[in-house]
Amino acid sequence: MPDYLTDQLPGTGGHIKETCEDFLVEELPLYPACGSGEHLMLEVEKRGLTTFEMMRRLARALQVKERDMGYAGLKDAQATTRQFISVPGATPQQTADLDLEGIRILSATLHRNKLRPGHLAGNRFTIRVRDTGPEAESIAGNVLHILSLTGVPNFFGVQRYGVLGNSHLIGGALLRQDYPGAIRQIIGDPERITNPSWRQAAELFRDGDPAAAAAALPRGMRDEYQLLQILAKGQAPEKAVLTLPARLLRLYLSAFQSYLFDRVVAMRLASLDILWPGDLAYKHDNGACFLVADAATEQPRADRLEISPSGPLFGYKMSQAGAAQGMLEQALLAKEALSLEHFRLGRGLSMPGERRPLRVPISQTRVQTDADGLLLSFALPRGSYATSVLREIMKTPADNLQGTVTARNIE
């Protein structure tokens, strides 16, 4: 099984994200703001902030409720990002004099509707890769040419699995109702933690003292602190876990879905552009899927990147593939000792599931070099990750794709 779709080509090596300026992400909107209505559509540039932290700061400054604001996509804190958000009841004049650290308003236009997750066409990336090997520009250009013809492996990748790379393990434990196991993963393995206070807390928890562990945690880890306090009072692990914010629990569950999907992509890597009988083919123009009965008849459409094989984001309502692909997916789930019904969790945590293309088209590709290294530009559809392109170009360990800018705000 190949490690890369472009295994026949060398990598450039290097690393990314020494600074936020090394990684620029720009949302490509589905539609422009119409110029009238009760919502203010803001194009915002942020640096070193998560989308939610940016929205919290703007909500305070504009005196609106954060839950009433809208966004199209979540953007990395380890980057400079330009994205759109909607603010109810605000006016362009209110944003003219805003001075918020890490935030710059690029445009403000009235619009009729609240922005919803997924309401974007895609993202354009401009990425600096430093300390590359020889012939980096030529290698990157050749890789991007192949990806433009065959599509990009649609991995979620390392950024989906959290600072310790174990968010999916927490999600898997939740699905199996293994709450003590989930807590061990949430607090973390001391051997994998670099922050001294967090590492001390993890060691104290491992030694059976949740109260002392809570006291040792860095101040920024409020959710973990609350969890340990509940355990210190003698409450059950299930209660402690389920008091965590539902948004965080859903993030863990989503990470597990992503992990299983990435395993399917890896298993199909040598045939991402080839339809199998029984595949559920994904239509790139509208996101619909259909069962492939005659692979030879449909293959020309796959060759034109109109359709692609799809993989599972497992859930209790997910459409299942047939034939060989169906057996692959069923075997993967069985290996985890799970069924689709395990994803019907209740408490607002149930995961209906969906299909996701195993590859995606890439466009607007450009490569150049300067004194600071290799500069890459390209656009991907919404829901796809630049790390999938970078892993093919750089062919370096996964840690090099996360960069050196801190991934979590721990005081």
Query: H helices within 283-385, ranges in order?
Result: 295-303, 323-335
DSSP track, 233-269: TT--HHHHHHTS-HHHHHHHHHHHHHHHHHHHHHHTG
Active site residue 3: no
Looking at residue 113, the DSSP 8-state letter turns out to be S
**Torsion angle, alpha carbons of 26, 32, 34, 35, to 10:** 40
Residues facing 356 on adjacent strands:
311
Contact 230, 239 (CB under 8 A): yes
Given CA atoms 257, 325, 396, 371 in this order, what sign does their dihedral have?
negative
Decide if 125 contacts 83 (C-beta within 8 A).
no
Residue 14 contacts residue 131 (beta carbons within 8 Å): yes
Report the DSSP pairing between strands 70-71 and 120-130.
unpaired
- Please tell me the number of Cα atoms within 13 Å of 36 on its side-chain side: 0
Q: Please give the backbone phi and psi of residue 183, each rounded to the nearest 5 degrees, phi first.
A: -65, -40
- Residue among 284, 301, 254 at smallest CA distance from 357: 284
Strand partners, 354: 313
Q: Exactly one of 76, 262, 273, 279 is catalytic; name it.
A: 76
Strands across the sheet containing 307-313: 289-291, 280-283, 307-313, 354-357
| DSSP one-letter code for 100 | B
Cβ pair 62, 93 in contact under 8 A: no
- Stated as kind and residue range, the H or E segment containing 232 is helix 222-232
CA atoms of 69 and 85, how far apart (whole Å): 7
Active-site residue set:
76
